[in-house]
Amino acid sequence: MTSATVWVLAAASIFGIGLYALIVARHLLRQLVAVNVMGSAVFVLLVVAAGPIAGSLDGIPLALVLTGIVVAVSATGFALALIVRLAEATGSISLEHDGEPDDR
């Protein structure tokens, strides 16, 4: 097994862990952290694609990771603001709610 394969497998398992947490978690902050964990897995894969293990380094994937981090930070900030608004409006930090369903 080459070391690149190890990193790809690591990225795949981090992505899987994040996906699992996104599905089973009920608390919105946990779900948001899960999405960020999945994002990190993609960044690991992009760094592997940059080829530091093969020796020669390709700058483009590293630039993509930087841009990706900027996008992830803004999306996370937006999601946090939304969670605060939701908690203020409904008193709940979860998407499950009792009472009138939203389609009535």
Partner 1 sequence: MIAEALTGLVFLPLLAACAVVVLPRRMLAVPALLGLLPLPLLLAPIVAEVARLGEVLMPIAGFERPLGIVWRVDPLAATLLGLNAVIGIAIGAYAAAGQPPASEAGRRFWSLWLLLIAGMNALLLSADLFNLFVTLELVTLSAIGLLVLEGKPAALRAAMRYLLLALLGSLAYLLGVALVYGQAGTLDLYQAGDLLDATLLPLTALVLMTVGLLLKSAIFPLHGWLPAAHGNAPGPVSAVLSAMVVKVSLYLVWRLWFWLAADWSLGWAPVLLGALGAGAILYGSVLALLQVRLKMMIAYSTVAQLGYLMLAFPLLGAVGFGAATYHLLSHGLAKAALFLAAANLLKGFGSDRLEDLRGADRRLPIEVFTIALAGISILGLPPSGGFVAKWLLLQAAWAQDGWVWIGVILVGGLLAAAYLFRPLAVLTARPPAEPQAGATEPRRAASLIALLLAFAALAAGFVPAPILGFLAGGTPPGAVP
14 is a contact residue toward partner 1 (CB under 8 A) = no
Alpha-helical regions (H) of the chain: 3-24, 28-50, 59-90
Do residues 21 and 33 make contact, with C-beta atoms less than 8 angstroms apart?
A: yes
Is residue 10 part of the contact set for partner 1 (CB under 8 A)? no
Q: How far is the CB of 100 from partner 1 (least distance, A)?
A: 8
Distance, in Å, from the CA atom of 78 to the CA atom of 73, rounded to the nearest integer, reads 9
| 102 scored as a contact of partner 1 (CB under 8 A) | yes
Indicate which single residue of 10, 33, 62, 75 sits in contact with partner 1 (rule: CB under 8 A). Answer: 75
Rg, the chain, Cα only: 18
CA 66 to chain centre: 15
Using the rule CB under 8 A, is 98 a contact of partner 1?
Answer: no
Total residue count of the chain as it appears in this document: 104
Q: Which positions lie near partner 1, rule CB under 8 A?
A: 15, 19, 22, 28, 31-32, 35, 38-39, 41-42, 45-46, 48-49, 58, 60-61, 64, 67-68, 71, 74-75, 78-79, 82-83, 85-86, 89-90, 95, 97, 102-104
